[in-house]
Structure 1
């Protein structure tokens, strides 16, 4: 026992000698002594805070993922809050380890506030917007959304809600990052907010004189041949209007997988409708218009000239 005590005392003495040697290498700034030991200790603390923050936040996120009874949105919100809590605790522990008095930081609070207000306002705005999106569940991972902003239109599935932006995967496997703040201030179409069932309206015109009952049966049968069209609720046909050159019909269908796209299922229904109508004799008309010519001297002269050309002397 005495041997271990002597070894412990020797190690402590050696460490104290090293600390004293490193502390002697430095300079004084006012009442503050800056030494090589301070620099080494600060480096160790910073590395320790980074390692602890990464490891602890990863363990915390795994623990949140393992909780049962949470849906995707609640799990994402829990992971985000766990990450913020772990890093906040790590920074506070690091400040305490460095011996920095938190009351001295009040001197810099005004300057820090200005820096946040001017330089980091977008970052903090996106962070708060992301937390709000997860809390009110208006947009959550797995939702299919359409966003229209000044830079164009984006349609795709929400794959992840991050600290700064929402990741949206489009139909062509492009991943677009939309800042959280834009989703808070821009009108967003959420195709799967309360239900994944989406209704699609497809216009089809048939010629005047067509058998409307037959056309309706053919269009319904054609829509049901498309695999993605739901049988319940069944497709329906609506008479929209008597147009200037055709009878305007609407095919109303429903799908439950909007993440797979809308344009492709609309194209499949139109192709099936084309083949069904073509084989039955119901025609899809070309645009037509009636032209009425008023009687005038110029028109009579033109008519006489045309007759003379048709019946040359």
Structure 2
């Protein structure tokens, strides 16, 4: 070993001496303990943390839950090595070993967090690389050389100097604020949805307002962190105001209309509405449009502004009970009293027809082909369809009519031919006929 050391020294290669090797061995032992602690945290604490977050937060079914154990492992290793680096003035090879493992663990933890929050993979890896470089250079001597290098690579745009350090800072700040805003919005939305003090419409309104507030706060925090002078954006803000006034007026109008709809609760998720040719139940009220799902499974996106300016039928605004009219015509030769009893029986036997209010049968007219009746029934689940209730009642009624001899008339026309009088002379046009 002494021969190899002398050979390396003779060629200008610095070889650690005895105390430095001992310090490096101690550092390796601490790194080993940190790795064991990270593995134990992911193995024993990770599942319990996943279960708790799944029950008490809105992370159930999100990509971050499967990453909780790896995140816990990497952050535990990084935290222990950061404490070790702080408690003892390491030098030489020990500093290099601790800094390398510490920076790798922190970078991998950050990448797992960003990927769990649905940040684009390339952007997440770029932030992880920056974290690795920042922590490693800090561990081995400081960030000053790196920041000076990034700041030296710059271009002049007008009167402003833009360096690579500025771009890296903006990117890191933007990704960090995006992740924090997304996480905060998720927690607030879950907290509001679990509250019993609000109905579903109020919960949806407060969730949307909270989401807007989080975005606005994140924007101004980012402006403050990047030290951007808002007075320099005066011209841009004026142009943006004109764009909103002319090009984005429909978008802003739909946003405000959606908030108003949620505030006055005239239309709520689950309501059955009719707007123009669209009939269905409200799935959700978005920022731009209301999603209405029809019985055909089609989803109509109706702009919020249309619901504010057009006539809308809301079948479940104040009461979910809806009355359905089913027209029936029977022949005049049939027993009218028996036919009405059979109509009542068919309506009562239908499973979706309510017993209270009770069904009713009205005679509406003596029509051209027979006596016209209307069966009036009530349902309280219009989102399940109306035509299927009519079909069920009419099918039951047809079988009852067949069993009891009640006839449903067919269209009839009676043509009476009157012969011409014998003493009436023929017209010239009649004589010309063959």
State TM-score, norm by structure 2: 0.63
Residue from 105, 113, 118 that aligns with 2:246: 118
Residue from 121, 136, 140 that aligns with 2:268: 140
Counterpart-to-counterpart distance in 1, 2:257 and 2:421: 74
Counterpart-to-counterpart distance in 1, 2:331 and 2:313: 35
Deviates further, 76-85 or 167-176: 167-176
Q: How does 1:275-286 map to 2 (within 5 A)?
A: 275-286=399-410
Whether 2:164 is the aligned partner of 1:40: answer no
Q: Contact 1:245 / 1:289 at 8 angstroms: preserved in 2?
A: no
Please state how far the C-alpha of 1:175 moved relative to its aligned partner.
Answer: 2.7
Please state how far the C-alpha of 1:290 moved relative to its aligned partner.
Answer: 3.6
Spell out, residue by residue over 1:239-277, the C-alpha distance to the aligned partner (whole angstroms, 9 max, x if none).
Answer: 101111211101000001111100000011111111112
Whether 2:415 is the aligned partner of 1:287: answer no
Tell me the residue number matched to 2:345.
Answer: 221
Q: Contact 1:244 / 1:289 at 8 angstroms: preserved in 2?
A: no
3-state SS of paired residue (1:14): coil
Segments of structure 2 that go 5 or more residues without pairing to the other structure are: 1-85, 96-136, 427-434
Q: Which is richer in strand?
A: 1
Spell out, residue by residue over 1:119-151, the C-alpha distance to the aligned partner (whole angstroms, 9 max, x if none).
Answer: 322322221111111111111111111221xxx
Please state how far the C-alpha of 1:233 moved relative to its aligned partner.
Answer: 1.1
Please state how far the C-alpha of 1:292 moved relative to its aligned partner.
Answer: 4.2
Please state how far the C-alpha of 1:182 moved relative to its aligned partner.
Answer: 2.2
Please state how far the C-alpha of 1:3 moved relative to its aligned partner.
Answer: 6.0
Spell out, residue by residue over 1:71-114, the C-alpha distance to the aligned partner (whole angstroms, 9 max, x if none).
Answer: 11011001100100001100111111111122222222221112
Cα root mean square deviation, aligned: 2.7
Counterpart-to-counterpart distance in 2, 1:215 and 1:168: 39
Segments of structure 1 that go 5 or more residues without pairing to the other structure are: 302-313
Tell me the residue number matched to 1:273.
Answer: 397
Tell me the residue number matched to 2:355.
Answer: 231
3-state SS of paired residue (1:234): coil
Name which one, 1 or 2, has greater alpha-carbon Rg.
2
Residue from 328, 331, 335 that aligns with 1:207: 331
Residue from 230, 233, 244 that aligns with 1:102: 230
Counterpart-to-counterpart distance in 2, 1:224 and 1:33: 81
Tell me the residue number matched to 2:317.
Answer: 193
Please state how far the C-alpha of 1:30 moved relative to its aligned partner.
Answer: 4.5
Please state how far the C-alpha of 1:289 moved relative to its aligned partner.
Answer: 3.3
Deviates further, 86-95 or 273-282: 273-282
Tell me the residue number matched to 1:157.
Answer: 281
State TM-score, norm by structure 1: 0.86
Please state how far the C-alpha of 1:2 moved relative to its aligned partner.
Answer: 9.7
Of structures 1 and 2, the one with the larger relative CO (CA 8 A, separation 6+) is: 1
Tell me the residue number matched to 1:71.
Answer: 199
Residue from 373, 387, 408 that aligns with 1:263: 387
